[in-house]
Chain A
Amino acid sequence: MEASVRLRCEADLTGLAGYNFAYLDEQTKRMIRRALLKAVAIPGYQVPFASREMPLPYGWGTGGIQVTASIIGPEDTLKVIDQGADDTTNAVSIRRFFARTAGVATTEDTEAASIIQTRHRVPETRLREDQILVYQVPQPEPLRLMEPRESETRTMHALEEYGSMYVKLYEDVTRHGRIATAYSYPVRVEGRYVMSPSPIPKFDNPKLTKAPMLQLFGAGREKRIYAVPPYTEVRSLDFEDYPFSVEGWDEPCALCGATDTYLDEIVTDDHGGRMFVCSDSNHCARRRAAAGEEA
């Protein structure tokens, strides 16, 4: 009798019969947490870790999922976004994965979440110290485009040999009159490591610096973890005479009227009709709700 009650409690805690809480076994979580600690201790440095095969494909968020799985507890509230939105198919799938394997509460409300896993965006709402932002990273190596070899790029990081990155940016300037990188825009963390902020639009880069929340980056296929601890300086690479700048739109969000958010372009018909709406669906919905109350 007692045993069966205990079993049921365990099942409640673990979420999915036959699997550990949040899918990964505790040994694996410990290994990932050790990598996370090292990553926090050396901001921007890519820590190799023994990435596991996950039940979701590589390139679909396995790094972020492993990071989330190793930091999440039963009391956490999880939010998952892809392209800024909670209802994107892959975000739905990952949220469902954790609801199923960890039985944790999930939310679409940015402020209510203790952990936010994201692909390609940083939420518009300013995050707090008690929140963790987990990025899914397809290619953690910012130097990869210049140098395909891991053995080389690791040495380049070790020697702070970032000349080739600046040469690439300079070539952009000579060819296009500007730095022609619109997303995955490289940053330098605390004056030391050059880091890829993951493929977020450069619009989001300024949100990374001196931010109150802990930022963790997981690259499953490439088996790397890195981190930006709270209140760490994150500078987007640029030149004195070609300073970093972000993209802007000529019109406000068609739904909430915001002028300071990242907008998605929605094609509305097949003869050129289009509208621009906030990519962060939760932020947009909250602004609309607030406007409704005022009215």
Chain B
Amino acid sequence: MTLRDAAKKIFFLEILKGLALTFRTMINRPVTRRYPKVKREPFMGFRGRHAFVRDPGTGREKCVACLKCSIVCPSQCIRIEYKETEERRVLEKYEIEALRCVFCGYCAEVCPVCALVLTEVYEYADYTREQFLFDRERLLKNWDDFSSGLKTGAYFNKFWRLSGIDINRMPVGKRLQQSVQVKQKEFLSKESFDKGRAA
């Protein structure tokens, strides 16, 4: 054994090198983020809570009960009931069991009229299981909650028209889909806010 190796063995040189690295980290800026005080915005296209897009014309959902989302869902968590009239199908019941869902995004991707989105909302924990059975009204309410929190007035979800996919492969509804205009929360003056709170 050389003198160098003997010195390394006696004076714990490699352990000191490791300790030096650890102590140097104390001086550096921390890489952690203090959630929930500091939050990061999820990237566009993050697969979060489901919502039904409100059609700006009718004010209701755009779903045409084609059942494609229900067929393609890997966890079979979408249940649909509809009624057939001469011209079209009328949606009666639409339920998503969010606790069964694996958030793969296939339902939003396959919908030919871009009626369903997976919004970027990920903080929606609740106390009971019943709150997670999203029916039509709840899905529309999810959309209202999400769109009122948006910073811009127009929203276009990534999964409506995925980049790189040939546009001729997509159904007509997806080819023509434009950004959805959302109504943002109007700026409330202090008096109207207090009045609203008192009511």
Q: Do A and B come from one complex?
A: no
